[in-house]
Amino acid sequence: MKISRECFASKGCVKMKTAICPGSFDPVTYGHIDIIKRAAGIFDKVIVGVLVNVEKKPWFTIEERTDLLKKTVGDIPNVEIVGFDGLLVDFAAKHNANVIVKGLRAVSDFEYEFQMALTNNKLNNKIETVFLTTSSEHMYLSSSIVKQVGLLGGDISPFVPEFVHDEILLRIRQRSSLK
């Protein structure tokens, strides 16, 4: 028997699935874009949560990171970009989201992500964490690596959209003029 999504909906069984794609996005890379687009293909609504990672010293303010994301994935109809400062589970609950989507690049990500998923579940057990494996072409990519390559004069154009590339180079020039 074929059961369509409409069939469930007409019986009032389907809940709107809102997922949060959280991160510091300092700044957004092609790796993030891949995960956000794939999440948008799975969930009814995806809220990209631009959050503070207390362990990192950001190059971009939350507003700047949010703007760069809006320019990058803001045209996807079921994607919304929101900045937030606080607990991820509170952010998710505020937006009626029951799923957190994270990208897993390699085994090295696993322990940290596992710890965060368990902690978040302990804080709010109505929220599940789902992991998407990063596409093989983005496995090595992180915002920190991109900034490091840029600082050392390498070509960062394969890793980020053009306007993000220009913003990173601007930051690097500003940093070197402050020295």
Among 119, 133, 148, 157, binds ligand PNS (CB under 6 A): 119
Site string for ligand PNS, 137-176 (x = CB under 6 A): ----------------------------------------
Q: Is 50 helix (H, G, I), strand (E, B) or coil?
A: strand
Task: Quote the DSSP letter at residue 153.
Answer: T
Q: Would residue 32 show up in a list of annotated catalytic residues for this protein?
A: yes
Report the nearest approach of ligand PNS to the CB of residue 37 (Å): 17
Query: Which tokens in the block code for residue 176?
Result: 């070197």
Q: Which is nearer to ligand PNS, 15 or 56 (CB)?
A: 56
Q: Which is nearer to ligand PNS, 23 or 83 (CB)?
A: 23
Among 82, 87, 139, 151, binds ligand PNS (CB under 6 A): 87
Query: Which tokens in the block code for residue 1?
Result: 């028997």
Rounded Cα–Cα distance for residues 102 and 36 (Å)? 9
Pairing between strand 18-23 and 99-104? parallel
Pairing between strand 99-104 and 79-84? unpaired
Rounded Cα–Cα distance for residues 14 and 6 (Å)? 9
Active-site pick, 105, 138, 147, 165: 105
User: Which residues are catalytic, by number?
Assistant: 32, 56, 105, 143
Q: Name the residues that contact ligand PNS, by CB under 6 A.
A: 22-24, 51, 53, 56, 87-88, 116, 119-120
